[in-house]
Structure 1
Amino acid sequence: MRKMRSPSAPWRAAALLATVLLVSSATACGNSDTGGSAADDGKLTLGFSQVGAESGWRTANTISIKDSAAAAGIELKFDDAQQKQENQIKAIRNFIQQKVDVIAFSPVVESGWDTVLKEAKDAGIPVILTDRSVDSADKSLYKTFLGSDFVKEGRLSGEWLIANAKTTSGPVNIVELQGTTGSAPANDRKKGFAEAIAANPNLKIVASQSGDFTRAGGKQVMEQFLKANTKIDVLFAHNDDMGLGALEAITAAGKVPGKDITIITVDAVKDGMQALADGKFNFIAECSPLLGPQLMDLAKKVDAGQEVPARIETEETTFTQAQAKEALPNRKY
Structure 2
Amino acid sequence: MALGTAFTLLTASCISCSPFNVEETSSNMQILEPEPAENLIRVGFSQLGSESKWRRANSISIKDALTVDNGFFLQFNNARQTQENQIKAIRGFISQQVDYIAFCPVTEDGWDTVLREAKDADIPVIIVDRQVSADSSLYTTWIGENMRQEGENAGIWLSKKLEELGKSHDKINIIELLGTRGSSSQIGRSIGFDTVCDKHQNWVLLDRDDGDFTTAKGQEIMSGFLEKYDDIDVVVCQNDDMAIGAVQAMQDAGIDLYSDEKPIIISFDASRQGLEMVMQGIIDVDVECNPASGPQLSEVIHEMEQGNQVAKAYFMNEEVFTRDNASRFVDDRSY
The alignment's TM-score, normalised by the length of structure 1, stands at 0.86
Please say if 1:150 is aligned against 2:147.
Answer: yes
SS of the residue corresponding to residue 47 of structure 1 reads strand
Residue 219 of structure 1 aligns with which residue?
A: 219
Residue 287 of structure 1 aligns with which residue?
A: 289
Residue 8 of structure 1 aligns with which residue?
A: none
Instruction: Name the CA distance, whole Å, in 2 between partners of 1:163 and 1:38.
Output: 56
8 A contact 1:257–1:263 mirrored in 2: no
Amino acid aligned to 1:269: S
Q: 1:169 to 1:294 in 2, by over 3 A?
A: closer
8 A contact 1:126–1:302 mirrored in 2: no
Instruction: Name the CA distance, whole Å, in 1 between partners of 2:81 and 2:246.
Output: 21
Identity percentage of aligned residues: 42
Which residues of 2 match residues 66-105 of structure 1 at below 5 A? Answer: 66-70=63-67, 71-105=69-103
Which residues of 2 match residues 292-307 of structure 1 at below 5 A? Answer: 292-307=294-309
SS of the residue corresponding to residue 56 of structure 2 reads helix
Structure with bigger helix share is 1
Following superposition, the deviation at residue 332 of structure 1 comes to 2.8
Which residues of 2 match residues 32-181 of structure 1 at below 5 A? Answer: 36=33, 39=36, 41-70=38-67, 71-136=69-134, 138-165=135-162, 167=167, 170-181=170-181
Amino acid aligned to 1:213: F
How big is each residue's C-alpha offset from its partner over 1:114-172, in whole Å with a ceiling of 9 and x where there is no partner?
A: 00000000011000000011011x21111111011000000000011111125378411
Residue 239 of structure 1 aligns with which residue?
A: 239
Instruction: Name the CA distance, whole Å, in 1 between partners of 2:181 and 2:305.
Output: 33
Q: Rg: which structure is higher?
A: 1
Greater shift in the superposed pair: 301-310 or 245-254: 301-310
Instruction: Name the CA distance, whole Å, in 1 between partners of 2:287 and 2:168.
Output: 26
8 A contact 1:37–1:99 mirrored in 2: no
Instruction: Name the CA distance, whole Å, in 2 between partners of 1:152 and 1:245.
Output: 24
Amino acid aligned to 2:328: E
8 A contact 2:180–2:213 mirrored in 1: yes
How big is each residue's C-alpha offset from its partner over 1:245-282, in whole Å with a ceiling of 9 and x where there is no partner?
A: 11100111111236411100111010101111111100
8 A contact 2:37–2:73 mirrored in 1: no
Greater shift in the superposed pair: 160-169 or 59-68: 160-169
Residue 21 of structure 1 aligns with which residue?
A: none
RMSD: 1.6
Q: How many equivalent residue pairs?
A: 298
**Bigger RCO (CA 8 Å, 6+ sep):** 2
Quick one: which of 273, 276, 279 aligns to 2:278? 276
Amino acid aligned to 1:238: Q
Following superposition, the deviation at residue 303 of structure 1 comes to 4.0
Amino acid aligned to 1:83: Q
Which residues of 2 match residues 315-326 of structure 1 at below 5 A? Answer: 315-326=317-328
Q: 1:124 to 1:303 in 2, by over 3 A?
A: farther
8 A contact 2:142–2:314 mirrored in 1: yes
8 A contact 2:238–2:267 mirrored in 1: yes
Amino acid aligned to 1:264: I
Amino acid aligned to 2:136: K
Gaps in structure 2 of 5+ consecutive residues? 1-31
Amino acid aligned to 1:190: S
Instruction: Name the CA distance, whole Å, in 2 between partners of 1:122 and 1:37.
Output: 23
SS of the residue corresponding to residue 75 of structure 2 reads strand
Residue 308 of structure 1 aligns with which residue?
A: 310
The alignment's TM-score, normalised by the length of structure 2, stands at 0.86
